[in-house]
Amino acid sequence: MPRITQQTLSKLSTPTEEGLALDLEDVKRQRRLGSSTAMARLLNMWIRAATSTFEEETGRQVRLASFEYRVDCFPPDRYIEIPKAPLRAVTSVAFLSAGSPSVEIFDADNYTVETPRGDHAPPGRIVLKSGASWPTPVQTEGAVVITFQAGYAATVTDVPALVSTALLYLVGHFHKYGEEVIGGPEARDMTKLPLGAGTLMFAFKKTALPKQRPWEVPWLA
């Protein structure tokens, strides 16, 4: 039975402490903490946790980061969909070669990069130009390596309002339940995300779902 190509997505860079997705002062105002600095460390931790939750639930990237996407071979389609939205740029399309050098870069003149914009932008794509074709990599796992950048914003001020709102809901959830709830009337509320955040994230996830079907590995058919 033919095997479907394996897809591996790895983050190459992570935003620093200064690369938080929410402004700390905005969070303090939203949580009615005034100018207090006593909870700054906890708030920063909750902002990172909220951002990770949003990204894992929706398949999207908030602050700009670099990624590596590996597949076993090029698809039969004339495009490759990038499984992380919103796509900002493709750095390189490389493939393992039997010749020298062992890793070759697929010339960017052979393709265009589609980078949809908007809060609910669908996944971006690498599309072959007319007359171009995919090269033939060596027959091994992870032979095609695509590096790219994805994310809504390079700075916190450019994070879309809907995304910031979802993150604020999540931070509020973490702030309200500042410790693990073992029992009692609040335990039930810990099993689900707040309605506002869950509703917002569902819409973000739905529009980020991939449309390209996984393809077969021809040398394993």
Give pLDDT, residue 13: 83
User: For residue 39, is pLDDT > 90?
Assistant: no
pLDDT band at 121 (very low <50, low <70, confident <90, very high): very high
Each domain of the chain, given as residue ranges in start order, spans 10-63+151-205, 65-148
- The per-residue pLDDT of the chain, averaged, comes to 87
Q: Given a cut of 60, is residue 212 above it in pLDDT? A: yes
- Other C-beta atoms closer than 10 Å to the C-beta of 214 total 12
CB 120 within 8 A of CB 161: no
How far apart (Å, rounded) are the C-alpha atoms in residues 145 and 12? 13
- Find the mean pLDDT for residues 109-131: 97
DSSP annotation of 66 reads E
Taking 60 as the threshold, does the pLDDT of residue 191 lie above it? Answer: no
The pLDDT score that the predictor gives to residue 148 is: 98
Checking if the pLDDT of 195 tops 80, the result is no
- 150, 84 Cβ separation under 8 angstroms: yes
pLDDT band at 198; cut points 50, 70, 90: confident
Whether 40 shows a pLDDT value over 90: the answer reads: no
**Phi-psi label, residue 37: left if phi above 0, alpha if psi -120 to 50, beta otherwise:** alpha
Q: What is the pLDDT of residue 187?
A: 43
pLDDT for the residue 175: 74
For the chain, what percent of residues have pLDDT higher than 70?
86
Residue whose token pair is 């004339």: 78
- Distances in Å between the Cα of 120 and the Cα atoms of 150, 163, 180, 202, 213 are 14, 10, 33, 11, 21
Look at residue 178 and tell me whether its pLDDT is greater than 70. Answer: no
Section 65-84 average pLDDT: 97
Single pTM value for the model: 0.86
Domain 10-63+151-205 fold is Hypothetical protein yqbg (1.10.3230)
CB 129 within 8 A of CB 186: no
Across residues 97-116, what is the average pLDDT? 94
Tokens read off for 117 = 């914009």
Among 59-68, 93-102, 190-199, the range scoring the smallest mean pLDDT is: 190-199
**Residues 6 or more apart whose Cβ sits within 8 Å of residue 88:** 64, 115, 148, 149, 150, 151
